[in-house]
Structure 1
Amino acid sequence: MNKAKKMPIGMKDLFYSKLLEDVKGGLTTYAPPKSLAGAVSGNLNPNGSITPFFSDDGPTVVVTSQGLMELELGIDALEKEVAAEIFGWRIDSNGVLIEGDSSNPPYIALGWRSETSDGGYKYVWLYKGKIQPPSEEYQTKGESVEIKSGSLNASFIKRDSDGEKKVSVHSNDEDIKPEVIVDWFTKVYEPDQELATP
């Protein structure tokens, strides 16, 4: 029996969660997830490398390594409260967003879901990264109005606690527990230490 192809055809429900603690050999804890912005597009590059070793006139060993996971994210617009939290900025008593040079943005987890061609959704969490403030583009209105969307660049690394970078699951997987999907955006998913038997 042929399974339906799970090709991505959408992106929605973009959430972030501030990383509170990440202890080597210990636990990683997060704040409750919050909505980041409306998702427009996402391009995730794992930046891995493959290096062959040659001997006896041919390749005999292939070594792989994982790099910095980079995400280019298209969004509609950021609320100032979200921008202040993810970039380490401040909002003063008059409600003005202050973008200081000495800001130290926190590590966050980033999650979303992508509709797929089989009618389900792929759910994703990236565990530990920082987002750069977006570039801003403005243009005067002419006879036709061009709407400008935002773009964010983020870099993600492995967690100190367990070395994990990313988790994902598909809602139509036969072995997935329903509560995993239901709870996906209420808390950052933590892997079960008991692995499934192949």
Structure 2
Amino acid sequence: MANKKNKVKFNIRNVHYALLTKSDDGEVTYGTPVPMPGAVSISLDPNGEPSVFYADGYAYYTINNNQGYEGDLELALVPESFRTDVLKESLDANNVLVEDATVETGKFALLFEFDGDINKIRHVLYNCTAARPTIESATKEDEIEVKTETLSITASPLDGGYVKARTSDSTSAAAYDGWYKTVYLPKAVSDASGQSDSTKVSSAKNSSKEVVS
């Protein structure tokens, strides 16, 4: 990707989700990203305030408390695949979607991008859950008003600490172009001595096979 800097961002698009599974030994695996067409808006607020430790009469130490993000993803309609894969609604013998209160919803990575004046800015949130959307509509009047559906999203840190990633002005073409093929996982960066820290990187991986719910 050319090293040119965006001046502005606008318009959410290209929303995808990728199912997250966690093995007994704690290894995280992602399925193939699935498109979620009809994105209208997204608004995610940081979750977790820093804690300040006071000593000697002043703020002696500030403790980071990054608990991820919380907010809303608004769509024209929540795709049926997301309802079955993540919200765990099931299709009966007549292909009717059934919601079951005894079934636990799934976790997923959320991928999306914003348009920019130069390049699109691509994001991934690694460990998300979603609440059921509100059931809402209204009678048709002189003009038809489209009713959207909103998912309440909670994006928490993975066990290793990673919360999200986004493309930069100098992201490699391979990483940028492959953003929606597999969930991007951080690559270890070598220090001046040539050593690299891959502890967090090894805790999660992509699966070449789509995860089946």
On whether the aligned pair clears a TM of 0.5, the verdict is yes
Q: Which residue of 1 aligns with 2:102?
A: 102
**Offset of 1:68 from its aligned partner?**
4.3
Letter in 2 for 1:11: I
In the alignment, which residue of structure 1 is the partner of 2:173? 178
The alignment's TM-score, normalised by the length of structure 2, stands at: 0.80
Counterpart contact for 1:22–1:159, Cα < 8 Å: no
Higher relative contact order (CA 8 A, sep 6+): 2
CA RMSD of aligned residues (A): 2.1
Gaps of 5+ in 2: 193-213
Q: Which digits, 9 at most, give the CA deviation of each residue in 1:43-89, with x for residues without a partner?
A: 11121312333344433332221124213111110232321111011
Note the C-alpha offset of 1:136. 1.7
> Structure 1: 5+ residue runs without aligned partners?
none
Distance 1:23 1:101 in 2: 25
1:188 counterpart residue number: 183
Instruction: Report the counterpart of residue 32 of structure 2 in structure 1.
Output: 32
- The one-character-per-residue Cα deviations of 1:138-179 (angstroms, maximum 9, x if unpaired) are 10001111111111101122223x221111113xx13x2101
Structure 1 residues 29-68: aligned runs within 5 Å: 29-68=29-68
Aligned equivalent of 1:7: 8
Distance 2:53 2:21 in 1: 42
Alignment of 1:79-158 (within 5 A): 79-116=79-116, 118-158=117-157
Cα distance between partner residues in 2 of 1:186 and 1:8: 23
SS of 2:166's equivalent? strand
Are the counterparts in 1 of residues 124 and 164 from structure 2 also a CA contact under 8 Å?
Answer: yes
Asked if the contact 1:14/1:113 (under 8 Å) is kept, the reply is yes
In structure 2, C-alpha distance between the alignment counterparts of 1:194 and 1:71, rounded to whole Å: 32
TM-superposition CA deviations, 1:70-123 (whole Å, max 9, x none): 13111110232321111011011211000111121111111001112x321111
Counterpart Cα distance in 2 of 1:36 and 1:196: 39
SS where residue 66 of structure 1 aligns?
A: coil
Q: Percent identity?
A: 24
1:75, 1:95 → 2: CA distance? 23
Would you say the 8 A contact 2:5–2:118 is kept in 1?
no
